[in-house]
Amino acid sequence: KGVSIADVMTAGAKGVARRVTDSVEDGEIYPNHWGNDFYHKYPEDIKLFAELGLKCFRTSIAWTRIFPNGDETEPNEAGLKFYDDMFDECLKYGIQPVITLSHFEMPYHLVKEYGGWSNRKMIEFFDRFAEVCFKRYKDKVKYWMTFNEINNQTDWPDPHPLLQNSGLQIDKNDNWEEEMFQAAHYEFVASADAVQIAHRIDPSLQVGSMIAMCPIYPLTSKPADIMKAERAMQYRYYFGDVQSLGFYPEWIQKYWARKGYNLDIFASDLATIKAGTVDYVGFSYYMSFATKAHAGETHFDYDEHDD
């Protein structure tokens, strides 16, 4: 296994932001270094799932087990075999695996060498990873997701979601919001590629998106608050629109123009996104928010930290 973002991401605390270190440092706490040791104990864990009556198990394939650095051309057979064995254990009990390809643990080498999803080359690396997984496990896994909670990075004023979602380590002088939109675009293209790759390999495979669903309600019934909440929902969940409908909503293109953002978007990208819409939408629900308009607002732009 190679080093992932999660391997070098420290714990946080109230008033203490999580950090990513270039190596494992003495005195730091790295949450993913301690846990239930599923890697070694999955047979007994899955047996417990069966005793609970569970019929599906959502987990992820660690990119770093299949391609330790992320940019290799040949996969790691030992990593592939681990998932063969784990999926067999699930199926033995009639438990259907639901598998996410990228779940906040991309290879750290791709962050340091390529700048994460700020780099178009990431599409190529992800496509190779996805194709290897689909070909290897097509008879064991029927339900897939591309990027976990891809929309969390709309909280771009916080550097943590940008790094966790997209491997972005951004200079303080850069435009973080624009960088987020660019990374998300490359992820949309890669996700659409993955859908088409899966369907070519086996048309019965189902590939979905994954959204963190935290609905945003108007604080009051005032029209301005209602408009603010509407804009907030559009902003936080446009990811699902693009992946499900196959095109960017008109409002976001006008938003980019108003902000002066000039994203690297090819016509071929848009054709790929249109051709590779997801088969279903998965979501995790944590909580809800309320928002209200500020005095004198005209565009009702949403900022998760200010609103």
CATH number at residue 248: 3.20.20.80
pLDDT tens figures, 48-62: 999 999 999 999 999
Q: Specify the DSSP element, H or E, that contains 99.
A: strand 96-102
Burial of 166 (0-12, 13-18, 19+ CB in 10 A): buried
pLDDT of residue 255: 97
Q: Would you say residue 56 lies in a domain?
A: yes
Q: Would you say residue 185 lies in a domain?
A: yes
**pLDDT truncated to tens, each residue of the chain (307 aa)?**
999 999 999 998 888 888 889 888 998 999 989 888 999 999 999 999 999 999 999 999 999 999 999 999 999 999 999 999 999 999 999 999 999 999 999 999 999 999 999 999 999 999 999 999 999 999 999 999 999 999 999 999 989 899 999 999 988 889 999 999 999 999 999 999 999 999 999 999 999 999 999 999 999 999 999 999 999 999 999 999 999 999 999 999 999 999 999 999 999 999 999 999 999 999 999 999 999 999 989 999 998 877 6
Listed residue (192, 283, 196) closest to 236, CA to CA: 283
Q: Would you say residue 304 lies in a domain?
A: no
Q: Would you say residue 128 lies in a domain?
A: yes
Say what the alpha-carbon torsion angle 49, 55, 59, 60 is, to the nearest 10 degrees: 140
Q: Would you say residue 199 lies in a domain?
A: yes
Listed residue (125, 49, 38, 44) closest to 82, CA to CA: 38
Strand order in the sheet with 143-147: 56-60, 96-102, 143-147, 206-213, 280-285
Asked if 210 and 150 count as a contact pair (C-beta separation under 8 A), the reply is: yes
pLDDT of residue 86: 98
Mutual orientation of helices 159-166 and 176-201 as an angle, nearest 10°? 20
pLDDT tens figures, 86-106: 999 999 999 999 999 999 999
pLDDT of residue 285: 96
Q: Would you say residue 120 lies in a domain?
A: yes
Q: Would you say residue 305 lies in a domain?
A: no
As beta bridge partners, residue 211 has 283
Domain count, the chain: 1
| CA 260 to centroid of chain Cα atoms | 26
